Structure 1
Amino acid sequence: RRIVAKGSSYFLKAIKAGEDALKRINDEEGFSENYLIFMQQLSNRYFNRAMFLLTVREDHASPTRAEDQGLLDLMTCKDMDQEVVDNGDRDGFKGDDDVYFELLMGRITGVLRLLKTGYSDPWGIEELFEGARNALVAALQEPDHHALFRDIQPAGQMQRLDSALIEYYLWLASCQTDDGGTRRECVELAAVIAIRMMFETNI
């Protein structure tokens, strides 16, 4: 519990520092590009604390409070992510072209981990998959020049997303108590994606 308390204190200080920096930028520059950059960084800190609290809640001094705070942090993060997306184009904030896809993949990985530990879907993971797919499709319009493919080829990025989808569908299948259609459909969807990945690898 001492380690959990120390970690909680670290995240609290990091978020407080981020909130102060965001307020200072807002006072000095208003709703600017820097404001959006710092908002995204602060959103990441909320997400990281959420993952921490929801993962270690049983070892926390107050498990219920840890869970409540973790779920609240997730919703705060989701709202901030959406605000950055909604206002980014309007205010000229672009960032690196690969940042948004990587952000979504990180969110997907975290939410999948929570689902596997017994939480109900706290975010709406299918929204994350849709956003990542849209970002990838947009990047594929310029496969030779897009920053997303600077270190990993298009097929590799597609397979990263497909691997997460397989993991999600297999988790869905494991949640079904019946031997009927829903469970079978989820397994078949995972199998179809896996076969497609093998085909892409052999192109």
Structure 2
Amino acid sequence: MAEPEPGSMLPPDAVEAAAHLIGADVFGVFEADETGCCLRAITYPEQGLQDPQVCDSALPVGVVHDAAQHDDDREAPHFGLRDILWLGVPTGSGTVVQLAYDRRQHVFTEQDVAVLTLVEPAIRRLVRGCATPAPPTVLTLSERRVLHLVSTGASNREVAEELVITVHTVRKHLEHAYRKLGVTNRTAAALALRSGS
């Protein structure tokens, strides 16, 4: 297995191995900040990023089996899935890297959960070996999307409707972007985005 590459979520061959570890319709590796905003993602098969965490809360740490949760706490039905199996690992840099296995038709078995639990220490070491703090001036994909729409003159409510997120989430993305860009308003942020900051 290749050495961890600083700045990556996991070494590429580890991602490939993890994708085949447990049978799933979709496998993904996500990195999210402390609010749950997705910073980057890899999915197999490749999918358009539909940020499952919209800054509502931090990603869970450890192995989480969705079907084992109370009905009110389940996530899978919200995404048209039968079951989800997650492994969340803190990076030590304030983010969490999450492996996510999705199934549309079948529930994960106790054996699937046991396999993921068994490899958790190895995944934890790999994630920590790769973790490096993201430069504070780098805008996330979500922040760029919000700023792009704001630069067209869209209101927070219009941005929220377009991106299918809450107005609160739009405000949070704008706050983070303003801080990173060193600006205090929409116009300055849009200009900074256009100038390539």
User: Same fold per TM (> 0.5)?
Assistant: no
The TM-score with structure 2 as length reference comes to 0.29
> Under a length normalisation based on structure 1, what TM-score does the superposition of the two structures give?
0.28
Give the structure with higher Rg (CA).
1
From the two aligned structures, give the one with the greater helix fraction: 1
Q: Which has the higher strand share?
A: 2
Higher relative CO (CA 8 A, sep ≥ 6), structure 1 or 2? 2
